[in-house]
Structure 1
Amino acid sequence: MRKAFQIATRNLWLSALLLLAACGSGQDAALSVVAIGSPATPFERGVRLPPAARLIRGATSEGIVAFDEQGQVVPALADRWIVTDDGLSYIFRLRDGTWADGSPLTAQTLRTALRETMASLRGTPLALDLAEIGEIRVMTGRVIEIRLAAPMPNLLQLLAQPELGIAPNGRGTGPMRLARQGDVAMLTPIAPEARGLPAVEGWAGHVRPLRLRALPAEQAVDLFNSGEADVLLGGRIEDFPLARSVGLIRGTIQLDPVMGLFGLAVADGQGFLAAPENREAVALAIDREALIAPFGLGGWTPTTRIVGTGVADDPGSIGERWAGLNIDERRAQAAARVAGWRRGHGNAPLSLRLALPGGLGGKFLFERLQADLEAIGVQALRVGADDDADLRLFEAVARYPRVGWYMNQLSCAGQRGLCSESADRTLEQAQRAIDPAVRAELLADAEAELTKANVFIPFGPPIRWSLVRGDVHGFATNRWNVHPLMPMAQRPK
């Protein structure tokens, strides 16, 4: 009896080992992707999705259009579209097909689902980005029109965002089908003919399943180092030192050339930070080049502007701040403001709480910021990323290259911390202006007002990185840090 049990146990272990071997080799092997995050994040729902959940949403719920691996807009529920000469009308022709429940995909049902999706975004910066959508009209059974109150040159990029994926009753149309196995998301490509597209001969041989899970950064890098993951996504600055570990001999660090916001948001406008000139003192003190030096990042460009470089509608009338001052002169001005404030408050010590992410990268940032503030007579206290704070690190990758994105992120509706209602009103006027010259002038005024308020202290563009094995197909760095899963599930031709 005991011997039979031992034989059965040995056979069970052999079967398990053979099964594991089959999962890691051969034509049917699933591509293993790990995203940085907590294990439950891939399955989160809502409108403020963490990176792993955005990957799942983009893979399982198509929008009118989508992104490819290069960050380019490609057809999805709509197979073609035109834009009128005045830029105020986008007309989409839908592909043949059905929704996940088998009901017909029509312009009417899409209009209803799109309006519901957009309504769910209320109260988010993305809703502000979409504010110029005036009307969604059904033209024929398979043609839908989006009419705008003012031109939106980057409307397609917005419609391709995972948050704009259409999922009536919580069920999207693909391009992949999700099955959850504990904390692992198993994603299988759906055959084209099942999505209303022309059949592809030998489809099964062109694709493979994909396995996605989310883990804390150190565990995710260890998984990649051990060969158990083919791709690691979701890297940010706090975890970048892990990417430079000696163990990464089989992988490649991929840095996305992103644009966006990376800096300190003023979370509490009490005490010293109540006055804009005192908030400016903190901004004056920071040596941005030294801040990033411990990370060894080549090509990173610091900035004192809220709006980043390369923005399409930047009027060019606002330049870098304090261009005529070196760091010592800037700190002298800042120290004088700190000393004056302290004299008016009984010479009590001045400290500020900085909410920063964890990880070695967070430690590097705090040490540099601590030294910068100490140079002007301010003690920096580090608190957790979600704790009460005076200044909070905020970073986000731009979804499209226009001034409006930057301003919307820091608007009062964005709820990042202190804000400027005046800047919000000026931006709203700019976005409704039809005359390009008037629009440019108002955009510059809006940025100037927000800059003067000193509610955000910019450092430069955010940092986004991935780890990708050389034999992985369907991954490419891009300006938007979008890495859809479906292209990675396609086998090289």
Structure 2
Amino acid sequence: MSGRAPFLILFCSALLALAGCGRDADGPLNVAIIGTPESVMADGLRLSEGAQTVRGAVASGLVALDAQGEIKPALADRWIVTDDGRSYIFRLREGTWPGGAELSGESARDALRRAIRQLRGTSLGLDLAPVDEIRAMAGRVVEIRLSTAMPDFLRLLAQPELALSHGGFPSGPMNLQAIGEGAEPGAAAAQLTLRPPEMRGLPQEEGWQEHVRPVRLRALDAQGALDAFAEGEVDVVLGGSVGSWPLADPGPLSRGTLRIDPAVGLFGLQVRRAGGFLARTENREALAMAIDRAALLAPFNIGGWTPTNRIVPAAIAGEGAAERWAGIELERLRGEARNRVAIWRTTLGQGEGPRLTVALADEPGLAMLFNELAGQLATVGIALDGVGADQPADLELIDRVARYAEPRWFLNQFNCALRRGMCSSDADAEVRQALSTADPQARMDAIARAEAMLTADNIYIPLAAPLRWSMVRGTVEGYAANPWAYHPLPELAVIPR
């Protein structure tokens, strides 16, 4: 049995237990995560956002993210970074692993190596490519050496998938247990409680239980979660996205507050199949030219949700990064798109315009998006049909929050090794080149070339940043909107003094 198996058995059994969550002002904080029990089940290394939230509560890495999305100590209580940014030296906190074994540099090194090894073949595995060596030093010290500097490496290291375990016991700040069976179908529930301070790397404290509360967690669909919030059955709803946005009308929910994360990431269309009309680069570009992104987002009426046609956001790409086709009028772009569609129709389309399919989930917000998108593409002669998210399609709607604030995360999402759709081996080679050079300017230039190649190939059509929202009752502390849309449960469990 693998090292994760005992934890997985415990977690799966807890989330599959059905329960009702009665509201008690002096009892647990009731939290609903939008999703199915399966989607929030930590059953491997490719975790949903809901599963990341739970994994981060019951298992810890060397560092973690706080409510604001900033780095905080976890198994390591302090660290230093060398001047060249290529060596991170961590001092582990006092204490033991949950199973009683010594928390030593050697055991942490072995656990981290195991975690990184298990992530091979995933996008996080690509993100971890700069990790060159992990060494155990004297006593409780671990050093991670990188092949090249990575400014946001600590945020990558804080990802829940890089949580460490020893002997099959998770090392996080909270314990998780099932809370019995209830009559409400589909309302999987579990209760998480904070471990004593000394088991969380904090000083012993008498009466610490008076300042914490359990978190009772439910997995519900969007409508069920919002209904439970409106009825006072839950205090927090996490995991809202574009698809469920039309359900989140804050008007009647006067007892709570709608919170929108300033999320960073990808929201757009990736080419799955480069055949037919999409076989040619200029036709894929025509598709991108035809979209009025501002009009696409307008029906959602969300302030601050701005359109983009960049793969890497300008704020992350660096000085001088500009939007594609800046200063060119939409009608001029659409005119060129119509010309290209007409050429394809007369030469390869046998007199008929292109008909494309897009894979997306069956959710009200995505239906709004699809209807507007299909109408826009029709103006240049492209017909668009929607299919289920798991069905074969020409295009796929990508909605993914970034893990760290570096261009390489965005580029790695289209790496050919992931087999997610159309890709560029030349762009992948530039990213590898960036990792092999010590010169900062040469790294930046290679990354810029990689993005330019992906943009020129038009394998991904950016629309905007991801949208993430929550409902949080006004009396709840420990929640903060942040760019990573990550809301740790341990901080919600602390009662303000």
* 2:307 is equivalent to residue 302 of structure 1: yes
Q: Is the Cα–Cα contact under 8 Å of residues 99 and 167 in structure 2 kept in the other structure?
A: no
- Other structure's SS at 1:140 match: coil
Once the 2 structures are TM-superposed, how far is the Cα of residue 415 of structure 1 from its aligned partner? 2.9
User: What residue ranges of structure 1 are gaps of 5+ in the alignment?
Assistant: 1-19
* 2:397 is equivalent to residue 393 of structure 1: yes
* 2:470 is equivalent to residue 466 of structure 1: yes
Q: C-alpha distance in 1, partners of 2:452/2:315?
A: 18
- Other structure's SS at 2:409 match: helix
Instruction: Give the alignment partner of residue 138 of structure 1, picking from 117, 136, 139.
Output: 136
Residue of structure 2 equivalent to 1:3: none
The aligned amino acid for 1:24 is R
* 2:339 is equivalent to residue 336 of structure 1: yes
Q: Is the Cα–Cα contact under 8 Å of residues 75 and 201 in structure 2 kept in the other structure?
A: no
Q: C-alpha distance in 2, partners of 1:397/1:328?
A: 31
Q: Could you state the TM-score of these two structures normalised by the residue count of structure 1? A: 0.93
The aligned amino acid for 1:208 is R
- Other structure's SS at 1:241 match: helix
Once the 2 structures are TM-superposed, how far is the Cα of residue 169 of structure 1 from its aligned partner? 4.3
Q: C-alpha distance in 1, partners of 2:404/2:172?
A: 24
Distance 1:309 1:170, change over 3 A: farther
Once the 2 structures are TM-superposed, how far is the Cα of residue 404 of structure 1 from its aligned partner? 0.6
Residue of structure 1 equivalent to 2:4: none
Residue of structure 1 equivalent to 2:271: 266
Instruction: Give the alignment partner of residue 457 of structure 2, picking from 450, 453, 456.
Output: 453
User: What residue ranges of structure 2 are gaps of 5+ in the alignment?
Assistant: 1-19, 182-187
- The CA deviation string for residues 403-461 of structure 1, in whole angstroms up to 9 with x for no partner, is 11110112212333100000010111113221122122112111111111100000111
- Other structure's SS at 1:227 match: coil
Q: Is the Cα–Cα contact under 8 Å of residues 315 and 444 in structure 1 kept in the other structure?
A: no
Q: Is the Cα–Cα contact under 8 Å of residues 308 and 460 in structure 1 kept in the other structure?
A: no
Once the 2 structures are TM-superposed, how far is the Cα of residue 213 of structure 1 from its aligned partner? 1.2
Q: Is the Cα–Cα contact under 8 Å of residues 250 and 257 in structure 2 kept in the other structure?
A: no
Residue of structure 1 equivalent to 2:351: 347
Q: Is the Cα–Cα contact under 8 Å of residues 269 and 462 in structure 2 kept in the other structure?
A: yes
* 2:325 is equivalent to residue 325 of structure 1: no
Distance 1:170 1:276, change over 3 A: farther
**Root-mean-square deviation (Å):** 1.5
Q: Is the Cα–Cα contact under 8 Å of residues 23 and 232 in structure 2 kept in the other structure?
A: no
The aligned amino acid for 1:303 is T
Q: C-alpha distance in 1, partners of 2:267/2:212?
A: 37
- The CA deviation string for residues 70-118 of structure 1, in whole angstroms up to 9 with x for no partner, is 1110111001100111111100000111112111111101111111111
Residue of structure 2 equivalent to 1:15: none
Instruction: Give the alignment partner of residue 280 of structure 2, picking from 262, 266, 275.
Output: 275
Q: C-alpha distance in 1, partners of 2:41/2:163?
A: 15
Residue of structure 1 equivalent to 2:442: 438
Residue of structure 2 equivalent to 1:96: 94
- Other structure's SS at 2:192 match: strand
- Other structure's SS at 2:483 match: coil
- Other structure's SS at 1:93 match: strand
- Other structure's SS at 2:145 match: strand
Distance 1:369 1:455, change over 3 A: same
Q: Is the Cα–Cα contact under 8 Å of residues 239 and 469 in structure 2 kept in the other structure?
A: yes
Aligned length: 470
* 2:195 is equivalent to residue 190 of structure 1: yes
Q: Is the Cα–Cα contact under 8 Å of residues 109 and 134 in structure 2 kept in the other structure?
A: yes
Instruction: Give the alignment partner of residue 209 of structure 1, picking from 210, 214, 227.
Output: 214
- The CA deviation string for residues 298-333 of structure 1, in whole angstroms up to 9 with x for no partner, is 11221111111321xx24454222224211111111
Q: Is the Cα–Cα contact under 8 Å of residues 32 and 220 in structure 2 kept in the other structure?
A: yes
- The CA deviation string for residues 172-227 of structure 1, in whole angstroms up to 9 with x for no partner, is 12200010235211101100123453112321101001111111111111111111
The structure with more radius of gyration: 1
Instruction: Give the alignment partner of residue 60 of structure 1, picking from 49, 58, 61.
Output: 58
Instruction: Give the alignment partner of residue 231 of structure 2, picking from 204, 223, 226.
Output: 226
Q: Could you state the TM-score of these two structures normalised by the residue count of structure 2? A: 0.92
Instruction: Give the alignment partner of residue 479 of structure 1, picking from 475, 480, 483.
Output: 483
- The CA deviation string for residues 222-276 of structure 1, in whole angstroms up to 9 with x for no partner, is 1111110100000111111111254312111101111111100001111111111
Q: Is the Cα–Cα contact under 8 Å of residues 423 and 450 in structure 1 kept in the other structure?
A: yes
Residue of structure 2 equivalent to 1:82: 80
Q: Is the Cα–Cα contact under 8 Å of residues 315 and 443 in structure 1 kept in the other structure?
A: no
The aligned amino acid for 1:108 is E
Residue of structure 2 equivalent to 1:24: 23
Q: C-alpha distance in 2, partners of 1:317/1:252?
A: 37
The aligned amino acid for 1:117 is A
Q: C-alpha distance in 2, partners of 1:350/1:210?
A: 51
Question: Following superposition of structure 1 onto structure 2, how do residues 42-61 of structure 1 map, counting pairs within 5 Å?
Answer: 42-61=40-59
Instruction: Give the alignment partner of residue 404 of structure 1, picking from 394, 397, 408.
Output: 408
- Other structure's SS at 1:468 match: strand
Q: Is the Cα–Cα contact under 8 Å of residues 315 and 440 in structure 1 kept in the other structure?
A: no
Q: C-alpha distance in 2, partners of 1:58/1:413?
A: 27
Give the % identical residues: 49
Residue of structure 1 equivalent to 2:365: 361
List, as ranges, runs of 4+ consecutive aligned residues in structure 1 with deviation greater than 6 Å: none
